[in-house]
Structure 1
Amino acid sequence: MEPLPAADIADLLEQISSAQRRDLLHLWSGEIDGEILSEIDESIREEVIENLPRKVLTDAVRELDTDDVVDILEDLEEPQQEIILGALEIADRVAVEQAMSYPENSAGRLMQRETVAAPEHWTVGEAIDYLRSAEVLPDQFYHVILVDPRMHPVGNVTLGRILSAKSETRMRDIAEEMFRTIRATEQESEVAYLFNQYHLISAPVVDGSDRLVGVITIDDAMNVLDEEHEEDILRLAGVGEGSLSDSWIETAKQRFPWLFVNLLTAILASGVISLFEGTIEKIVAVAVLIQTLVIGLTTDARWDARWNPQGARRSANGWGPVLVVIFALFMGVGSLTGGLAYVLQRFFGGLG
């Protein structure tokens, strides 16, 4: 499975049964890395972690950014959390524990602690020298965050502007016009809205004193947006928050109340339709009217382009279709008016 991307390997682990997953991890556990672990669905992630050797789990977790580690820890029981925290280096463990101290579903848990910041008075040349000499940089970042002496974020500079500017250019002179900071206590849903509304790529996160504590990137914000959309669709369908590991009995229990309500409303609707069956048959003429209008008012050129593209003879219908449309219009309006009058008469007559 080595040529497969991490997301595809995670999908494979999610689709097979629990027994097959356990056997596969026993044979192939040495190839599980941090990227695969972060891609696995949260409903089976704990099971996968339990079946991984301690060394494999340790190596996989150390590859992850702090936001991915926090995302994994949120879905685990305390014993598994301690195993993962114990595998981290001291600095990373402190950062993860600080992130876990923020409220659930907040920006503090969504952010990554690894940031690239520079003093606002630096030049482009100084920033490039710093980036080249830094021992550790995030694997992916989009902006250099400008900060004042108190570590307050004051602007963002994209990597593209840094590379295209002259070395003596001040960093603050090429900062982006659109700049927003996010409170660490802000709700994830509000963060996703800000990214979507203002087309943000990344945004610095600040604490109660407006000091820089992390950064949120667009991939994390879009994950939140996708999860919210999925939850909304599931609620509309009456499915609830099911998971891949749920048995068919549990799934049936979740769906039965909503399906039962749908059955009752369908029975009620069929009863109402049966009471006004005759009226509905008359109103069907409205559908015929609309279709006739569309066909009759279609120009000859458009008609030939759609229905007679290969024909040697071009259409030339003249006034015939127009007269048909006028006749259909009178018939449709009459049927509609009569149908509505009949329904209103029956309704108010029944009330009387």
Structure 2
Amino acid sequence: MAEHERPLEDDDVILAPEEQDEGARPDDRIDDERMDEENTLKREFVSSVEDALEAGETGAVYDLVEPLHPADVADLLELFDREERHQLAAAITDLMTSEVVAELNDYVREEMMEALPADAVAQIAEQLETDDAVQLIEDLDEDDQRAILAELEPEDRIAIQSALSYPEETAGRLMNREFVAVPEHITVGDLIDYLRDGRELPEDFFEVFIVDQRHHPVGTCNLSWILRTPRNIALGDVMKRDQTLIPAMLDQEEVALMFQKYGLISAAVVDEDGRLVGQMTVDDIVHIIAEEAGEDALLMSGAGEGDINEPIREAYSSRVRWLVANLGTALIASLIIAAFGAAIEKLVALAVLMPIVASIGGNAGTQTMAVTVRAIAMNQLTRSNTRRILTRELRVALLNGVTIAVLIGAATAVIFTPLLGAVIALAMVINVVTAGLAGVLVPVAFDRLDQDPAVASSVFVTMITDSMGFFAFLGLAVALQVV
């Protein structure tokens, strides 16, 4: 017997063979005939499901879908349009588990829940963890919410209503209300006995929260600590008193940053009085990080939700308003060009070259803006270091501007005239430096006004760089009497 092995004792837990094998190879399905090398559903498989649906062969549809993982079933549903999606759901009713519903895109889930009766939605909600059940219900109409809540068990109804009372995208709305909390006066042995009893425990948890008489968290114990500590040791002697507490009203983006900064697996959520009301776990944070990253990228482009399942009317409404705003800002640049119309008529080269100045300035501004928005989102740019970051970006902009100015200036001098080359070189430096300034100040201004810095920053930065590019180039051309 090796040194690290030991004889089995009476209270050792041995997994049955089927329990040991279950989920042992999560990547088995990657090699499945239904999945391609990128772990997405093959087009041939999707087509076969579609053909079976059209032929009305519900048995064949069920046989095709049954082996899929719940997440892949959700992906399959999202690939179909509304009518086919409902037909598919009807054909695989037994497979439409809570795990599948939890994995569905928000728009698809809302659409499918609206098509189901309240009691059916309530049955699905009761199988989900509280945070997933809240996601299932929160986007529905108030009348539908009330009907579904009325069908729930009182305990589940109270938990979901409590979550809905918090603002969207806060820890209180997203937290899981199923956690393990025990008093600090008990021993490790008492805790192990309580956990083995298994009554009213969540299915998955990583640590145990220790609370005082007022239900305020005073420490935590990882499960690994509990298993390695003698039974007679008091929890108060082994628990970790230094812990990260998350206010229930904290924005989800700030919660994600706390998890990243402190390397958390789970954390206690407390109300205004400091009482333990829930927990956030790392699986929730993964979803938040992905959601926030995608949201910022889409907001910077003015694309709204940017979801391919978003209804056409909502997609149109969210995008067109920023295009209208962009039209207004573009008119400013057009007015600057019009003011120098006489100079452009005399020298066609100005019309040929001025888009280059505006284009390079716009790209430089977009680069700086993207860096700034990310820094704000990651709490790397704060009031205490704004000036330093601004100085840094201006230095980068100056170096970039000079480099591009030398290249375009030399080419213009050869093709046209040395004076015009000097004009476009100087205009390029001015516009790229302006782009660096705007790329920092515009997002920072949004942030200081308590607005999302990603919102339409690109519209304003583009306006500034286009306007300055045209004004600097045409203005210098006139001032230096190029025409």
Q: TM-score range by the shorter chain?
A: 0.7 to 0.9
Does the C-alpha gap of structure 1 residues 20 and 150 become closer, same or farther in structure 2, counting only changes over 3 Å? same
Measured after TM superposition, the shift of residue 227 of structure 1 is 1.0
Measured after TM superposition, the shift of residue 51 of structure 1 is 3.4
Paired residue secondary structure (2:92):
helix
1:214 aligns with 2:278: yes
Tell me what 1:288 maps to: none
Paired residue secondary structure (2:277):
strand
Does the C-alpha gap of structure 1 residues 23 and 349 become closer, same or farther in structure 2, counting only changes over 3 Å? closer
Tell me what 1:7 maps to: 71
Does the C-alpha gap of structure 1 residues 20 and 121 become closer, same or farther in structure 2, counting only changes over 3 Å? same
Measured after TM superposition, the shift of residue 53 of structure 1 is 5.6
Tell me how far apart the structure 2 counterparts of residues 256 and 33 of structure 1 sit (CA, whole Å): 38
1:49 aligns with 2:113: yes
1:111 aligns with 2:175: yes
Tell me what 2:161 maps to: 97
Measured after TM superposition, the shift of residue 250 of structure 1 is 6.0
Tell me what 1:283 maps to: none
Tell me how far apart the structure 2 counterparts of residues 192 and 80 of structure 1 sit (CA, whole Å): 31
Measured after TM superposition, the shift of residue 43 of structure 1 is 0.7
Does the C-alpha gap of structure 1 residues 33 and 54 become closer, same or farther in structure 2, counting only changes over 3 Å? farther
Measured after TM superposition, the shift of residue 85 of structure 1 is 1.4
The two structures, once aligned, show a CA RMSD in angstroms of: 3.4
Check conservation: 1:25, 1:51, Cα contact below 8 A.
no
Tell me how far apart the structure 2 counterparts of residues 169 and 117 of structure 1 sit (CA, whole Å): 18
Instruction: Give the partner amino acid of 1:166.
Output: P
**Which residues in structure 2 correspond to 1:91-170 (within 5 Å)?**
91-170=155-234
Deviations 1:87-138 (A, max 9, x none): 3211111111112112222211111111101112222111100111131211
Paired residue secondary structure (2:85):
helix
**Which residues in structure 2 correspond to 1:32-111 (within 5 Å)?**
32-52=96-116, 56-111=120-175
The share of aligned pairs that are identical, in percent, is: 39
Measured after TM superposition, the shift of residue 222 of structure 1 is 2.3
Measured after TM superposition, the shift of residue 178 of structure 1 is 5.0
Tell me how far apart the structure 2 counterparts of residues 253 and 180 of structure 1 sit (CA, whole Å): 41
Tell me what 2:353 maps to: 275
**Which residues in structure 2 correspond to 1:182-193 (within 5 Å)?**
182-193=246-257
Check conservation: 1:184, 1:207, Cα contact below 8 A.
yes
Check conservation: 2:182, 2:208, Cα contact below 8 A.
yes
**Which residues in structure 2 correspond to 1:147-296 (within 5 Å)?**
147-176=211-240, 179-246=243-310, 251=315, 254-255=318-319, 274-275=352-353
Q: How many residues align?
A: 296
Does the C-alpha gap of structure 1 residues 123 and 77 become closer, same or farther in structure 2, counting only changes over 3 Å? same
* TM-score, length basis structure 1: 0.73
Does the C-alpha gap of structure 1 residues 76 and 351 become closer, same or farther in structure 2, counting only changes over 3 Å? same
Does the C-alpha gap of structure 1 residues 274 and 203 become closer, same or farther in structure 2, counting only changes over 3 Å? same
Tell me how far apart the structure 2 counterparts of residues 17 and 349 of structure 1 sit (CA, whole Å): 57
Does the C-alpha gap of structure 1 residues 95 and 250 become closer, same or farther in structure 2, counting only changes over 3 Å? closer
**Which residues in structure 2 correspond to 1:294-313 (within 5 Å)?**
none
Q: Which runs of 5+ in 2 are unaligned?
A: 1-64, 338-348, 356-402, 427-475
Paired residue secondary structure (1:97):
helix
Paired residue secondary structure (1:81):
helix
Deviations 1:239-278 (A, max 9, x none): 211433445676466556767959x79x99xx8793389x
Does the C-alpha gap of structure 1 residues 141 and 272 become closer, same or farther in structure 2, counting only changes over 3 Å? farther
**Which residues in structure 2 correspond to 1:329-340 (within 5 Å)?**
339=410
Deviations 1:45-94 (A, max 9, x none): 12212334665433322111111111112111123212331332111111
Does the C-alpha gap of structure 1 residues 134 and 236 become closer, same or farther in structure 2, counting only changes over 3 Å? same
Q: Which runs of 5+ in 1 are unaligned?
A: 278-331
Check conservation: 1:114, 1:138, Cα contact below 8 A.
yes
Check conservation: 1:61, 1:87, Cα contact below 8 A.
no
Check conservation: 2:166, 2:173, Cα contact below 8 A.
yes
Does the C-alpha gap of structure 1 residues 51 and 254 become closer, same or farther in structure 2, counting only changes over 3 Å? closer
Measured after TM superposition, the shift of residue 169 of structure 1 is 2.4
Instruction: Give the partner amino acid of 2:90.
Output: H
